[in-house]
Amino acid sequence: MTRTFSPMVKFVAITIDEIFIVLFVIVVVYFWAPEYLLLTLIVAIPGTAIFVIVKYYLVYPSLVDTGSYGLYDLKGMTGVVTETVTPKSGKIRVGGEIWDARCGDGQILPGAQVRILSRDSLRVVVSPLES
């Protein structure tokens, strides 16, 4: 079972290290250069806030799982058989990629054009294209 996290949890996970670095810098300045603490706070706090806001608007949309994988929505696409496709095994080329393939019954020989009926993980179910 694959565990998926919300986009906000993902965003916090990829941003928290930058916030810890800023806190570390503030602590270091506090102990070793206290005369620069006010300047550090004036620069670090708004700078960090701006950084997080900009990062949020640039990165957050890519963290949302749309349930669609763009090029990997293969249903209806066509490909060419590279290794004989049977109900148990076979390979096809779709664009520049090689996919594991299965067919309903019989076999489809190399070089034949096929249409993708469905995809399950990295395996596609195909049928021969009628010529």
Q: Show which of 63, 91, 106 is a domain's final residue.
A: 63
Per-residue pLDDT of the chain (131 residues; tens, 9 = 90+): 567 888 999 999 999 999 999 999 999 999 999 999 999 999 999 999 999 999 999 999 888 865 544 556 788 999 999 999 999 999 999 988 899 999 988 999 999 999 999 988 889 999 999 86
Supply the range of the domain harboring residue 46.
Answer: 7-63
97: left (phi over 0), alpha (psi -120 to 50) or beta: beta
Give every CB contact of residue 110 below 8 A, 6+ residues apart in sequence: 81, 82, 83, 84
- Within a domain: 105: yes
- Within a domain: 2: no
Q: According to the model, what pLDDT value does residue 113 have?
A: 96
CA-to-CA dists, residue 6 to 18, 65, 121, angstroms: 20, 9, 21
Residues 49, 75 within the same domain:
no
What Rg, from alpha-carbon coordinates, does the chain have?
26
Residues 41, 77 within the same domain:
no
